[in-house]
Structure 1
Amino acid sequence: MFNVVSLFAGIGGICLGFRQAGFNICWANEKDHAACLTYRHNLGDRYLVEGDIKKINENSIPKADVLAAGFPCQSFSIAGAGKGFSDPRGELFFDVVRVASAIQPKVIFLENVENLMEHDNGHTFQVIYSSLVELGYLIRYRAMPTHEYANIPQTRRRIYIVAVSNYELCNRFRFPDPVPLTTSALDWLDRKNMQPDIYYYSRDTAFERYVRSMVTDDRYICRIYNGSVIKLKNRKCPTLTATMCTPQNAAVIKDSFGVRRLTLRESLKFQGFPKDYYFPKTIDIQSAYKQIGNSVSVPVIFRIAKNIHTILLGDNNNSQ
């Protein structure tokens, strides 16, 4: 079984996708304590190291076939600050390089926002690309929207980078092909059963009265962004982001009982997490929403990881 080291593991979306594809997660790291609680609750505690990657000696990390990292994207996103490498979170990419240099994986897998390619007029992506090349890797990358590659109606656009250690492996690797989208976002929602009160905009405040006045059509999902309500007519869920932890930035629907946010279960479903994946009771709802928005589309990760597994298996067979 091929081993994976996972950096910036969050609640385990990348780890879960690789595990589903047949990999063994031998070491994972996450700094955020609340995310670690959710990770352990669902994926166990055997290999998760909680702490700041900058304070972890790279020589203490085990060797692995794959280094996976969904390094923080807020520094490069349109919705975020966009400060790139001048933001301490953006600098964390260089910890990926530091660890990769130490453990020398055959494959490096990276996930980030699509805007990474355009940030700072392409300079940011060029630095990332060049850094991987200087380590001896050949690079393949593709922007892959969730609704085109996972049959999940969420308009989540992310770039996936696969850096491979030799030409033969790189030449055999293929990103998965698009798949048809066969459902609309409304098909994924439970609108017939009343949800807990915490999800509904039912209080008598100016903002919640405004939301109720704007979300009157149950045929659409609406997005609240910086206090404005936008009706989405593309039959898809908007990109789930960390900012949806507040009612002022949320995906909203009208059901049979009122106007409400997407539930945590619905949000996890739009990210492709399995039905048995959920949050421990110690996690509050704001943290849970933030964790979902910071995570990944698990089925997209699985499809890419499956193709990585195929080339590694072929390389292993050829070396025997």
Structure 2
Amino acid sequence: MAISKQDIQRVKLMGFLHNRETERFSCRVITGNGTLTAEQLQAVGRIAEKYGSGVCAFTTRMTVEFAGVPYESIEDVVKELAAVGLTTGGTGARVRPVTACKGTTCVFGFYDTQALGQKVHERFYEGMGDVRLPHKFKIAVGGCPNNCIKPDLNDFGIVGQHPPKFKEELCRGCKLCEKFCRMGCMEVVDGKMQRDTTVCNNCGYCVGKCPFDAIYAEEVAYKLYIGGRWGRVVRHGTPLPGLYTEQQALDMIEKAMLLFRDQGKKGERFAAMIDRIGEDKAVDMLLHGDLMERREQILAKEIQ
């Protein structure tokens, strides 16, 4: 029995993608920022073996896919995945699965990226997953400026920052800071360290390296990027001015989604929308606009 285009589209929205020139489908399993418990990982393997090809692969969004699922087995796959707390999905013009680097345990990570990634997942992938957008919307959470998860190439990117502070009275002009600075933004001038803040990316590598404790850091902050894109067309995200707290970063994601829904055209990526209306206007609307005040109105409007 041939599978109709309507049924292919219906199960695609469930996270089952048609395998080319077959009547079988790939199952996309949503993970928690790329993490699964041992029980879940074993269960996915068993289900992939039972219903599909038996081969699992991690996608660029850190979901797990296995191919070869017959159309008539899709409901059984969904049911067995649900038994271990897993869901399928991650398709369509909406928030896509959130990616977060391993900054939680990485020696370079400044904060618990998996915890923040989970908050983003719960508030936006789950909480606003039914909100239709002009196109897909990808969010990435990075633990430091090493940029392993490429936050600035996502529709919305978060990058951990460890901005250094300086106690001038403790500086002896030894120039070790010049040696340790990976960005070349520190220079001793007239016996005191000077930092070029236009070059410094707040990587924090200099923190703790000064033998006289002149350079230190207290809080973790977040750099935010909007409108990044990779693929056939690449656009580096527009950095929002300044640094942000965790709560401010979460709220800014919602504002960005509202901006996209308010200003975007059907089928248009967020990056293209920003280029069309202008970076300055997009940033101004995020920082000073009334997006949150118009939230319900924006969510109710039809995307043209």
Q: Normalising by the residue count of structure 1, what TM-score does the alignment of the two structures yield? A: 0.23
Greater C-alpha Rg: 2
Q: What TM-score, normalized to structure 2?
A: 0.24
**Where is the helix percentage greater, Structure 1 or Structure 2?**
1
Q: Which has the higher contact order (CA 8 A, sep 6+)?
A: 1
